[in-house]
Amino acid sequence: MQSPTFQQELSSPPVINGYPGVPDIPSSPTLGSQNGAIVPPPHLQSHRTLVLCFDGTGDQFDSDNSNVVQLFSMLVKDNPAQLAGIGIYTIPQIATPMMAKISKIVDMMLGNHLDAHVMGGYEFLMQNYEAGDKICIFGFSRGAYTARALAGMVHKVGLIPRCNHQQVPFAYNMYSRDDPQGWDESNAFKKAFSIDVKIEFVGICAVGLIPRRLPFTHANDSIKYFRHALSLDERRVRFKPSTSERPNEKDRCRVKHDVGQGNDVEEVWFAGCHCDVGGGSVENNTRNSLARIPLRWMIRECFKAEVGILFRQDMFKEIGMDPARLYPRVLERPDILYHSPCPPTQCSLKKRQDSKAGSNSASIYSDFVSEELEDVADAISPMYDQLQKTWKWWILEATPQTIFYQDDNDNSNVITCKINMGHGRYVPRQNRDGIKIHRSVKIRMEANCLKDGKYK
């Protein structure tokens, strides 16, 4: 199989309303249109990649899918070099529709079925893993915590051989125990029955309600690359930022495993609320939204890490990316494009089409020029605050809630109780360590025509 070729589609950049002109943006020939082209070429991969994607609680495949579904749709699914699986929200079989609905609502609030989702992902790995495979896990909202828990379970109890389905609940029970006997038993179980497996890449967006703290969900040395997109503007008390914690020596000594190279952790903050970072707040064919920015960032990180995930070349322009800037080498991003007063919300390259009956993605995205221009239009898109849209969330805001966090001074785990009442979120470790804020936040801060006024 030959390497994909990127065909030049643009003769000259169109005029952008509100801009004096389009700067010369360095670019390779872009966006080949051959059906079936794959980036990177699979024949260059020396390993197989297992990709697991976990969506959030209540996020079923519908007209406003999350970034996890968008990412999964970009994956190659018919090549032996890659095996992909997605976990859309499901609940165990319930006898009546009414009880099923009640069970779903309770799980959205309390996470009663988290164990089922983690064990489902574990069984996928158990049945499909072969020596030399690279494991990549993605998640949004509750699915982000599921992704962390699955990686933690593989780290603590190892991966048992395929077809041992009866052992999975037992292995999960040992993983979830945090008492001394549980740690001793999990080490013995791992030594007797399991293989020690590393996780190549974990990419998560905006962790949602956390039902309970499980081992190695906040610090896991077995993950080689950990990428986390966080929301700057989410206010709900049960959606507090769950940043990666520094592993302490006590946890390191509890689990016996082969010593490998250290993990690479990067957590970046983005403008917007929960679904503005993880997706799901706008209709699928909406051209611009805040959620497209962290999706592009996550995919770029996959290429930087060279994990070997295979993507469909024809899907990149739908999210506002040029694959020629990602492969064979990830190119440096040009300078930010932002102007004041800001351009129209649609940032028209020509009149952009909204999702209409009969329109297809090829026509909607045919005017793609560069990721930098997409950043401008996405960065000034509307924000969706659930405390303004749904009054029911205020029940939790007015109720005392238990909060877990790691102390900035001594890294100790702290448990406290508070009534939030819609206050803005606290960004941990910003004073001592500093934090990474995506450059698109500056574009939004410079804009003068946002519907809700100046972004601060």
Name the nearest CA neighbour of 290 among 422, 452, 423, 433: 452
Q: Domain for residue 415, yes or no? A: no
Q: Confirm whether 299 is domain-assigned.
A: yes
In a domain, 359, yes or no: yes
Q: What is the pLDDT along the chain (456 residues), one digit of tens a residue?
A: 433 332 323 223 333 333 333 333 333 333 333 347 999 999 888 899 999 999 876 555 566 789 999 999 999 999 999 999 877 555 554 445 665 555 555 555 555 678 999 999 999 999 999 999 999 999 998 899 999 999 999 999 999 999 999 999 999 999 999 899 989 999 999 999 999 999 999 999 977 677 678 999 988 999 999 999 999 999 998 888 888 876 555 555 566 555 455 689 999 999 999 999 999 889 988 999 999 999 999 999 999 999 999 999 999 999 999 999 999 999 999 988 765 445 444 444 344 444 443 445 444 556 788 999 999 999 999 999 989 988 888 998 899 988 777 777 766 777 888 898 988 888 887 777 789 999 999 999 999 889 888 998
- Which of 414, 417, 438 is closest to 428 using CA atoms? 414
User: What six digits make up the tokens of 92?
Assistant: 């165990």
In a domain, 22, yes or no: no
Asked whether residue 16 is assigned to any structural domain, the reply reads: no
Domain membership of residue 284 (yes or no) is: yes
CB–CB of 338/446 below 8 Å?
yes
Quote the domain boundaries for residue 320.
38-392+437-446
What is the dihedral sign for C-alpha 353, 337, 230, 423?
Answer: negative
Spatial distance between the Cα atoms of 295 and 328, rounded to a whole number of angstroms = 20
Is residue 7 domain-resident?
no
Would residue 3 count as lying in a domain? no
**If we measure between CA atoms, which residue out of 384, 213, 364 comes closest to residue 290?**
384
| Sign (positive or negative) of CA dihedral 125, 128, 131, 133 | negative
Q: How far apart are CA 186 and CA 256, in angstroms?
A: 10
Count of domains in the chain?
Answer: 1
First to last CA, the chain: 50
- Predicted model pTM: 0.83
Identify whether 26 is preceded by a cis peptide bond (ω within 30 of 0): no
